[in-house]
Amino acid sequence: MTSVKIAIPSNAPGGLEAGVSAHFGHCDLYTIVEADGSDLKSVTTLPNPPHEEGGCLAPVQLLAKQGVRVLLAGGMGRRPLMGFTEAGIQVFFAGLPTVGESVQALLEGRLPAFTMDGVCGGCGGH
């Protein structure tokens, strides 16, 4: 894997030790990890806009503008998954407890791609 920006919906305060939020659209913030191969180049955080501002697709636009190419998520609805796909952002299922564990699993190729079969009921998942 070449240099890539990875976004992980996180519980406050964010960072590698933070818990992974169960649903990306309602997370406290995003931890943004820039990785080059197995090397972590930077770890920053990005506030999540209120869900009402742009609805389910607001996070898609926010993360795409930040240059994110990969999202690790525990759950999302059909509409945002389609939005991420259209924006060229790959989504992987991350059911691990912390951001750091999730990023490590991605870099080791252990996370499955998020598919329409895995969407949840909220935000277009019906």
> Is residue 45 assigned to a domain?
yes
- Whether the full predicted model's pTM is greater than 0.95, yes or no, is no
Q: Whole domain around residue 112: which residue ranges? A: 4-118
Residue 123, pLDDT above cutoff 70: no
Give per-residue burial for 23-53: e unless 16+ CB within 10 Å, then b: bbbebbbbbbbbbeeeebeebebbebeeeee
> What would the mean pLDDT of 13-27 be, rounded to a whole number?
89
The label of the residue with tokens 């894997």 reads 1
Three-state secondary-structure class, residue 29 = strand
> Is residue 44 assigned to a domain?
yes
> Is residue 123 assigned to a domain?
no
Considering only CA atoms, which of 29, 3, 22, 16 is closest in space to residue 100? 16
> Is residue 126 assigned to a domain?
no
> Is residue 36 assigned to a domain?
yes
For 55-89, write each residue's pLDDT tens digit. 778 888 999 999 999 999 987 878 888 999 999 99
pLDDT of residue 52: 63
Tally of domains within the chain: 1
CATH number at residue 27: 3.30.420.130
